[in-house]
Structure 1
């Protein structure tokens, strides 16, 4: 009758000694047991790269990491899993929901000049079928403009569900939609075909880049300035996947960035 009690007392003593040993060691080196197993066993027995890909993506999204040319090789699979997984969809949905919450709280003038500016690539249209190719590897391979332009010509990009939902909600609220993209003017017909095929059926303006025009912040700022100063429009909201879509002059009353860790446009 007393054997089980003695066994329990012995087990408890061993457990107490183990806890005391861990606590004493941790006190001397407080970080030694934090995620102790992960660096050695989290990748099937292989140590992780020194580059933390989650931290890298956060730096990209917050614009703390700038002027990078391609996704680090160590983060290729991480970026692929993120873009194809549920988290990317949830992240975009959250941005779109916040944008709608903001938009429905505005008092529109009713003169038809309240516009919402959308970027296209990775904002309203997804090029994931292209970026998933081995030759692109979610941005881990060098940019091939010829191959990407051929993809644009195919007009096979997919709608980003959260953005498409927001687009339809904004139209119901009375906003005019302006698409502003850095894709060249020669691809206008392909863009129109692609947008309409996936549900973006109407807009006020579709602005593409003329041959020889610069890109990035300078280009987007110029086009937004023309919208407001020459067209008489008021940019009430502006949504893009690159900081170059949202920085600079005439950015709009409020901006919303959707995630995109696959490429950087300055």
Structure 2
């Protein structure tokens, strides 16, 4: 009798796991096909979510523009809550790491921040240029930079203030040309970044034809030669955090709009 009861219970559980019906309606679970694009439509052979993952994981490199089909997907991500949430997660982990350190109080601890899409957001500009769908236009972008109107990235500003409270100094290291230093400093202060130890911009005559990885590695090396300890390094591009003298730990913010090598 016990065996019959046990077999009945097993059969009941298996039937439940494989689906049940109520008034002839099946409740089997079927695979869902991912929707992508601005209207949630299906894109043949392209998953914009997968493409973005490939970009963030640095599996897709050396691309010039986002896929045409992904303009809506990238735009919705950048202006939506997910981008803010992803940035918050990165910055929180950066702070937790910094807070855990037992650092000497000698004024030589420094954290490297990139600027574009790390400290300042160029989203107003890219919203008018397809969120990365259009090829980069140096003239148009420089006109935007000269306005010094880029809004702050809120989670990065929170991290900046928390690092200062820990006694860690800040170095801004950007690929912007040296000629834009005054407007960049103005924009940073308007956005809430009121103080820094270093504001490093690119000298075109020194780094002409060099990659961002080469340029930023060389400038970080100069910081170390001056006696600074690079406690952390945060940027939106892999070229911000690859190379040499990258710092004790690096943090990558999301940016599916453009790629800099």
Q: Per the shorter chain, which TM-score range?
A: 0.7 to 0.9
Q: C-alpha distance in 1, partners of 2:22/2:161?
A: 63
Cα deviation, residue 73, structure 1 = 0.5
Runs (4+) of structure 1 moved beyond 2 Å? 11-15, 46-49
Alignment correspondent of 2:258:
263
In structure 2, do the counterparts of structure 1 residues 87 and 113 end up closer, same or farther at CA, with 3 Å as the change threshold? Answer: same
| In 2: Cα distance, 1:12 partner to 1:224 partner | 66
Q: Which residue matches 2:14?
A: none
Counterpart mapping for 1:172-183 below 5 A: 172-183=165-176
Counterpart check, 1:55 vs 2:53: no
C-alpha deviation, 1:13, in angstroms: 6.9
Tell me, what secondary structure is at the counterpart of 1:149? Answer: helix
Structure 2-normalised TM-score? 0.86
1:126 to 85, 107, 121: 121
Tell me, yes or no, if structure 1 residue 35 matches structure 2 residue 32.
Answer: yes
1:169 and 2:162 equivalent? yes
1:106–1:150 Cα change, 3 Å: same
- Alignment size in residue pairs: 237
Q: Which residue of structure 2 lines up, in the alignment, with residue 28 of structure 1?
A: none
Instruction: Give yes or no for the alignment of 1:250 onto 2:240.
Output: no
Structure 2 stretches lacking a partner, 5+ long:
1-20
- Within the candidate set 212, 217, 228, 2:213 is matched to 217
Deviation at 1:109, TM superposition (A): 1.2
Residues 145-204 of structure 1 deviation map (CA, whole Å, 9 limit, x = unaligned)? 110011000000011000000000000100010000000000000000000011000000
Q: CA deviation at 1:87?
A: 0.3
Match for residue 196 of structure 2?
203
Matched position secondary structure for 1:123: coil
RMSD of equivalent CA atoms: 2.0
1-structure distance, mates of 2:249, 2:108: 16
Report the CA distance between 1:43 and its aligned residue: 5.3
Deviation at 1:215, TM superposition (A): 3.5
Q: Give, in whole Å, the separation in 1 of the partners of 2:112 and 2:61.
A: 24
- TM-score, normalisation: structure 1: 0.84
Contact conserved, 1:216 with 1:245, CA < 8 A, in 2? yes
Mind listing any 5+ residue stretches in structure 1 that lack a counterpart? 1-10, 24-32
Matching of residue 160 in structure 1 with residue 153 in structure 2: yes
